[in-house]
Amino acid sequence: MLDTAKLDAVMSRCPVMPVLVVNDVTLARPMAEALVAGGLSTLEVTLRTPCALEAIEEMSKVPGALVGAGTVLNPSDMDRAVKAGARFIVSPGLTEALAKASVEHDVPFLPGIANAGDIMRGLDLGLSRFKFFPAVTNGGIPALKSLASVFGSNVRFCPTGGITEESAPDWLALPSVACVGGSWVTAGTFDADKVRQRATAAALFTV
């Protein structure tokens, strides 16, 4: 059985979950340190680069960091991510195979959804927490408001995709939103001071 409480603990930890694409593993630890120092400690490392799994291992060594894996596409990805130290799993979509694998690994699983049919399939699998992705191109705040009105307060979301520092507070103001995913915090050439400053600003957002 999927444990919603464990996923809620992940989603409620910080208002913004940085979505990280790590191309240089030597930057993994200082990036995590800067984010945690700024108040964002829930880190999604996407499996989009050759060093992603190693980055998860390095970031997991940072005190206070809760590191998960994103762009998890299949059970094999999940298995490798969990072995690397990922403590939660984020996927761009929803499959029964991933849902079952998350139960086997006893790891919080946040699947991506784009429409009502996706949410209904998730509910059938015992899921009630979803990543609304890609948030902006799927209709933005009006679309999520419409979906949330159908499924009620038991279903909550982490919108990700196209969300900016400027728009994040508007998303977080929605009752159905537990947190947002964003890549702006670490955008551009890595600068630890700049990342810490952006994280500090984002950590002050309210849900």
Q: Which residues are catalytic?
A: 44, 131
Q: How far apart are CA 69 and CA 184, in angstroms?
A: 18
**Hey, how many other C-beta atoms are within 10 angstroms of the C-beta on 204?**
12
For 2, the token pair is 């999927």
Q: How far apart are CA 117 and CA 1, in angstroms?
A: 21
For 55, the token pair is 């980055």
Give, for 110, the enclosing helix (H) or strand (E).
strand 109-110
Residues 6+ apart with CB under 8 A from 116: 147, 150, 151
Q: How far apart are CA 108 and CA 119, in angstroms?
A: 17
